[in-house]
Amino acid sequence: MVIVRRQFITVGETVMTKGETMRYIRPLSIEDAVGLLAGSSGTAAILAGGSDLLVRMKGGFVEPDLIVDIKAIEGLSEIRQTPDGFSIGAAVPCAVLGENAALKKAWPGVVEAAKLIGSKQVQGRCTITGNLCNASPAADSVPALVAAGAKAVIAGPSGKRTIPVEAVPIGPGKTSLAKGEIIEAILLDNQAPRSGDAYLRFIPRTEMDIAVVSAGVNLTLDEHGVITAARVALGAVAVTVLLVEEAAEALIGRKLDEAALERLAKICSGACRPIDDKRGTIEFRRKVAGVLATRAATTANARAGGK
């Protein structure tokens, strides 16, 4: 295993390792960060909170030749409220999301999901963008972001592009990002009137565990409580988070009554393609996916003002 020397020198605003085995650079602009990543010849990694990357490095699973720390890049540590909604910079720690009253009010499910990640200490470092790019099917913030219709703004060597968050992870530990690309921000639109979101996960203990099954739901109601728009996402039951369009279709045009909940549970259980392991059997995961989807939908419905 390569031993990484942790002796940093500062050159102007740039910090680099002195040893040859790994370069650590803290660029100040997104253009410089993209240029460094695009021009690297070895293995390069982006460092946000480091709560996944550093654990993987310590375990010897990755040995980057270059680490590009994005925390000093201007604007990346800010949550901006725009006329369209919110832009959450890629270096904003999850703990900060809960301190933003407007974001919490508009997207309580997303904020709650981010606040389930690890512990207070982990949340002080980790980011929702890192959670997304780590590409774990069990990542807590991802089903909530998918249900919310969040988008990722990507900066890369050929300019910027914006894609739905569900298009970022393509398999466990794999993303659709090309060499040199960095997610700059996550966008959340303003919620339509009478809308609400919610996220729930099942873990065998009370905290500090990875979801065995999870569900995120976002609903919009009309003035009579009839669902006019819905998004349902399931986590930890397939190789990536699932957007269950059939579940949304079954909800639209009706109130969230017993029959609707029953149908939602059935569709969600059927949509799962889970693994069988010591943390949960396939049968258990299917059942729990249905239960969590109905509970999250009930909370989302209440938040939207439904009865």
Ligand X SMILES: Cc1cc2nc3c(=O)[nH]c(=O)nc-3n(C[C@H](O)[C@H](O)[C@H](O)COP(=O)(O)OP(=O)(O)OC[C@H]3O[C@@H](n4cnc5c(N)ncnc54)[C@H](O)[C@@H]3O)c2cc1C
Binding residues for ligand X (CB under 6 A):
45-53, 55, 70, 90, 116-118, 122, 125-127, 129-131, 133-134, 139-140, 177, 182-183, 208, 210
Pick 15 or 229: Cβ nearer ligand X: 15
Residue 300 beta carbon to ligand X: minimum distance, rounded to whole angstroms: 20
Closest approach of ligand X to the CB of residue 46, in Å: 4
Question: By Cβ distance, which residue is nearest to ligand X?
Answer: 130
Least separation in angstroms between CB 105 and ligand X: 23
Q: How far apart are CA 247 and CA 15, in angstroms?
A: 49
- The phi, psi pair for 265, rounded to 5°, reads -60, -45
211 Cβ neighbours under 8 A, 6+ residues apart: 138, 140, 201, 202, 203, 235, 236
Interior angle at CA 141, CA 95 and CA 105, nearest 5: 60
**Taking the mean position of all CA atoms in its chain, how far away is CA 204?**
21
For ligand X, the closer CB: 51 or 220: 51
Q: Give the residue with the Cβ less far from ligand X, 69 or 197.
A: 69
Q: Looking at the DSSP assignment, which residues form a beta bridge with residue 163? A: 152
Q: What whole-number distance in Å separates Cα of residue 85 and Cα of residue 69?
A: 27
173 vs 225, beta carbon nearer ligand X: 173
Are the beta carbons of 231 and 255 closer than 8 angstroms? no
Give 48 or 261: the residue with its C-beta nearer to ligand X.
48
Least CB distance from residue 248 to ligand X, whole Å?
23
- Minimum Å gap between C-beta 183 and ligand X is 4
**Enclosing H/E stretch for 69:** strand 66-69
